[in-house]
Copies of this chain bind each other. A is one copy, B any other.
Amino acid sequence: MKDYTSGGFTLPGEAGYEKLTLEMAKKWGADVIRDSDGTKLSPEITEAGYRIYSTICIIREHNEFARSHPDAQQQTFLFSEPRTAEGDRLEILPLEGYFEEQFQLNDSPEAMAYWQVWDRTAGRLLSPDEWEYAEGRVTVRGCIPYHRYSVSFLAWRIWEEINMYNHTTNNWQSEHLRQLDPRHPEAWTYLKDWLRNWCRNNPDTNVVRLTSLFYNFVWIFGSDLRRRTRFVDWASYDFTVSPAALKAFEQEYGYALTAEDFIHQGKLQATHRPPTARKRDYMDFIQRFVAEKARTLVEIIHSFGKEAYVFYDDSWVGMEPYGKYFVSIGFDGLIKCVFSGFECRLCAGAEVPVHELRFHPYLFPVGLGGLPTFSEGGHPEKDAWAYWLHVRRALARQCVDRIGLGGYLHLTIGQDAFNDAVEKMAKAFRHLKDLQSRCAPAELPLTVSVLHTWGALRSWTLSGHFHETDWNPLIHVNEALSGLPVRVKFIHFEDVRNGALRDTDVLINAGRAGDAWSGGDAWKSPETVSEVTRFVAEGGCLIGIGEPSAAEGGDSYFALAHVLGVDRDDGSFACHMPWEFTEEDSAPFFTDGESIGKTEGIRLTDPETRVLRACGGTPVLTLHDFGKGKAVYMGGFTYSPAAARMLLEMLLYLTGTDGKAAGHTDQPLAECAWYPAERTLVVMNNSDRPLEVNVSLPSETVRTNPGAGEMCFVQI
């Protein structure tokens, strides 16, 4: 039996702690040592026989160039808070309320051409002769009293947002880092030269680890500490904008984008909302630009005999791993930091040679949400283990090539429990990787299609980490699915109309009315609705969660109410009495009450709809036969191991599938992966106590006894 003690592990080295670095490399079985942003490895480390990753943030740390070329900096559209006119004249300071260290007005003539002033009360765009600008101030004349006016404008972003965040959070005193826009011709020439130089000067580096590309996710700070972050969206494109980009877009697409396409009444266009057709065009435009520029960088790195890995965060915008152009960039590896199972699947499924996970917690004194992870009172081993329970079940389905850590290695000193935990996880990871190198885990003959606005582009993810999006039921669904033995596809509405349901067994739609995950206006399409109706009528299954298929203007609130057997009364059905119902004593599959949420106003549309669970008189889990198919409705869904089990049992019940084909445990809090060709069973105890777990396999039953939280590998 192998001991899986080394390989596939990236250690963050630390200059000044050379001995520790090499010791920990040995303990954790590292084959790679990396630096971190802003640190440098010493020769004792780089020459110790390990492969070396070096971190580069390509658009940052060029302050001198930025100072001499201020027009090479990045920009964004912003809007002023609408102000009420009391007379016919109003003065507006556009940047009022924004963090003055992040933004600076772009009042150059080419930028001013994109500025707009809106009467937000009337929804009217003012003509340019109704307002004037001078010295940071917009004056609106001829106002209608008591209407509200707002200015949309371009601003320079003069502080790179990740640096700004670290600075303001940790009270750093160093110089603010600026960022360059690769669309600026001189900046682009400069950056390419800079990268060539860097590669030349860093001969020890095997892998250039890009953190990441050009455009940060949108993060807008306010001047008031009571709303320091005004807007943050991990997948919005506002920070890619510039007059040059807008002009290039107009030339290519034959129509011009305006400030309002971005500002959208001050709501901006968050990833959680369905995009306009114009935003879709713009995203594709940016994705091609980013891919083209990234390809050039990768070619430079390759020309020096180095590999190029990209870290999928920070300035990642436009390089979606499931986007149309990602493969064309030619990255050698994709690195994803993970808290959750869905992030493992997101990384593992991308088309790139090497998939690497960065585990949490980072080796930082203070962790997520200000917790004292590696400070006094912290328990980094508990945090690590909690994340591991999410991660390992996804790895058991689809493993990655490498794992690793980040941060300051010296923080591990004296943290024996954490160090041992990491060692244990690394071994388990290697075991799974080894198994999967020879044999795929058994999968049920069952394809789940998750339907939302973005489809494959946002496979597995919504917008950022779990805890950043956890008010959406879909992220909980994705997390549950990440460890289930089923095929998972992410499809959008055009996919549905193009026949994507033909190889779908269960369709899931989970979201809130009007959001990108439920679908919003997409459900106004009769073709989409009738295709899903056909799918279920002919024997397919549907799971709707929250406010699935909710759309304005139809004769029901859920466009699929007739299939689901439930609808929501948003007030439109005032005076219509609901069907009375009786909650069933027991459901035909395992259910977990704590994982099921409630949506107010749910009522039956068919007296035959079975109410498996209700809460305060409102159905929260229902089952409805429709034609030859079935539909489940859940008011909400919160991930937990029991929730994942409920989802699995629901899928088995709906499709009439026998779970044994992929191994089926008799304990809701235990799950397994079965590697038939290797005759190896991996049993995961997701509870905090030892369990006796009997696993049904296609031709036998295996009894195992995993300890609390343990993952055991059983050779049969």
**Chain A residues within CB distance 8 Å of chain B:** 82, 84, 86, 120-123, 144-148, 150, 218, 224, 226-227, 229-233, 236, 265-268, 270-273, 463, 512-515, 526, 529-531, 533-534, 537, 552-555, 562, 570-581, 607, 627
Q: What residues on B are CB-neighbors of A229 within 8 Å?
A: 577
Total identical chains: 2
B580 touches A227 (CB 8 A): yes
A571 touches B265 (CB 8 A): no
The residue from B272, B513, B526, B574 contacting A147, defined by CB atoms under 8 A apart: B526
A636 to B579, CA, bound (A): 27
Q: What residues on B are CB-neighbors of A529 within 8 Å?
A: 121
A601 to B627, CA, bound (A): 38
A146 touches B554 (CB 8 A): no
CB distance from A164 to the nearest CB of B (A): 15
A554 to B553, CA, bound (A): 18
B236 touches A575 (CB 8 A): yes
The residue from B86, B233, B514 contacting A627, defined by CB atoms under 8 A apart: B86
B578 touches A227 (CB 8 A): yes
Q: Would you mind naming 16 contact pairs between A and B with Cβ atoms under 8 Å apart?
A: A86-B537, A146-B531, A146-B537, A150-B555, A224-B579, A226-B579, A227-B578, A227-B579, A230-B577, A231-B575, A236-B575, A267-B572, A272-B571, A272-B574, A514-B571, A514-B572
Q: What residues on B are CB-neighbors of A150 within 8 Å?
A: 555
A571 to B272, CA, bound (A): 8
A227 touches B575 (CB 8 A): no
A533 touches B84 (CB 8 A): yes
Q: A226-B581, A267-B555, A273-B571 are in contact. List 8 more A-B contacts (CB 8 A).
A: A84-B627, A147-B526, A226-B579, A231-B576, A232-B575, A233-B574, A513-B570, A515-B574
Using A272-B575, A514-B571, A575-B272 as known contacts, say yes or no to A554 and B265 having CB atoms under 8 A apart: yes
Q: What residues on B are CB-neighbors of A236 within 8 Å?
A: 575
A512 touches B148 (CB 8 A): no
Using A236-B575, A267-B555, A571-B515 as known contacts, say yes or no to A607 and B227 having CB atoms under 8 A apart: yes
A120 to B554, CA, bound (A): 8
Sorted from nearest, which 7 A-B pairs have the closest CB atoms?
A265-B555, A272-B574, A146-B530, A270-B575, A233-B575, A146-B533, A270-B574
A147 touches B530 (CB 8 A): yes
Which partner residue on chain B sits nearest A79 by CB separation?
B555
A489 to B271, CA, bound (A): 45
A580 to B577, CA, bound (A): 40
A273 touches B231 (CB 8 A): no
A236 to B123, CA, bound (A): 34
Q: What residues on B are CB-neighbors of A607 within 8 Å?
A: 224, 226-227
Q: What residues on B are CB-neighbors of A120 within 8 Å?
A: 554-555
Q: What residues on B are CB-neighbors of A463 within 8 Å?
A: 575
Of A148, A232, A271, A514, most buried by chain B (CB within 10 Å of CB) is A148
A554 touches B230 (CB 8 A): no
A530 touches B570 (CB 8 A): no
A571 touches B123 (CB 8 A): no
A515 to B575, CA, bound (A): 12
A147 to B273, CA, bound (A): 28
Using A265-B554, A555-B267, A562-B82 as known contacts, say yes or no to A232 and B577 having CB atoms under 8 A apart: yes
Q: What residues on B are CB-neighbors of A533 within 8 Å?
A: 84, 121, 146, 148
Q: What residues on B are CB-neighbors of A273 within 8 Å?
A: 571-572, 574
A418 to B537, CA, bound (A): 61
CB distance from A581 to the nearest CB of B (A): 7
Q: What residues on B are CB-neighbors of A555 within 8 Å?
A: 82, 120, 150, 265-267
Using A267-B572, A607-B226 as known contacts, say yes or no to A231 and B530 having CB atoms under 8 A apart: no
A486 to B443, CA, bound (A): 72
A272 to B576, CA, bound (A): 11
Using A530-B121, A554-B123 as known contacts, say yes or no to A512 and B571 having CB atoms under 8 A apart: yes
A574 to B234, CA, bound (A): 12
A398 to B383, CA, bound (A): 67
A226 to B122, CA, bound (A): 48
The residue from B82, B576, B578, B580 contacting A267, defined by CB atoms under 8 A apart: B576
CB distance from A120 to the nearest CB of B (A): 5
A84 to B529, CA, bound (A): 11
Q: What residues on B are CB-neighbors of A627 within 8 Å?
A: 84, 86
Which partner residue on chain B sits nearest A524 by CB separation?
B123
Q: What residues on B are CB-neighbors of A145 within 8 Å?
A: 530, 534
Q: What residues on B are CB-neighbors of A148 within 8 Å?
A: 533, 562
Which partner residue on chain B sits nearest A234 by CB separation?
B575
Which partner residue on chain B sits nearest A148 by CB separation?
B562
Q: What residues on B are CB-neighbors of A271 within 8 Å?
A: 574-575
A580 to B562, CA, bound (A): 42
Which partner residue on chain B sits nearest A118 by CB separation?
B555
CB distance from A87 to the nearest CB of B (A): 11
Which partner residue on chain B sits nearest A222 by CB separation?
B577
Q: What residues on B are CB-neighbors of A570 within 8 Å?
A: 513-514
Q: What residues on B are CB-neighbors of A578 within 8 Å?
A: 227
A121 touches B526 (CB 8 A): yes
Q: What residues on B are CB-neighbors of A552 within 8 Å?
A: 552
Q: What residues on B are CB-neighbors of A84 within 8 Å?
A: 533, 537, 562, 627
Q: What residues on B are CB-neighbors of A579 within 8 Å?
A: 224, 226-227
Q: What residues on B are CB-neighbors of A270 within 8 Å?
A: 574-576
A230 to B607, CA, bound (A): 13
The residue from B121, B265, B268, B573 contacting A575, defined by CB atoms under 8 A apart: B268
The residue from B218, B230, B232, B526 contacting A122, defined by CB atoms under 8 A apart: B526
